[in-house]
Amino acid sequence: MSYGGIALGAHGERLAAHWYKSNGYVIVTRNWQCEIGEIDLIVRRGNELVVAEVKTRVSDRFGAPSEAVGFAKQRKLRRLAAAFLERTAVHCDEVRFDVVSIIGRDVEVIEAAF
Looking at residue 81, its amino acid is: A
Query: In this structure, are residues 52 and 42 in contact, taking their beta carbons and an 8 Å threshold?
Result: yes
Query: In this structure, are residues 79 and 32 in contact, taking their beta carbons and an 8 Å threshold?
Result: no
**Chain segment 23-79, per-residue pLDDT in tens:** 999 999 999 999 999 999 999 999 999 999 999 998 888 899 999 999 999 999 999
pLDDT of residue 71: 97
**Of 31, 32, 28, nearest in space to 13 by CA:** 31
Percent of the chain scoring above 90 in pLDDT? 84
Average pLDDT score, the chain: 94
- In 28-64, which positions are buried (b, 16+ CB within 10 angstroms) versus exposed (e)? bebebeeeeeebbbbbbeeeebbbbbbbbbeeeeeee
CATH of region 5-110: 3.40.1350.10
pLDDT band at 4 (very low <50, low <70, confident <90, very high): low
Residue ranges of domains in the chain: 5-110
pLDDT of residue 5: 64
Percent of the chain scoring above 70 in pLDDT? 96
The helix/strand/coil state of 50 is strand
Question: Looking at the predicted structure, is the pLDDT value of residue 1 above 80?
Answer: no
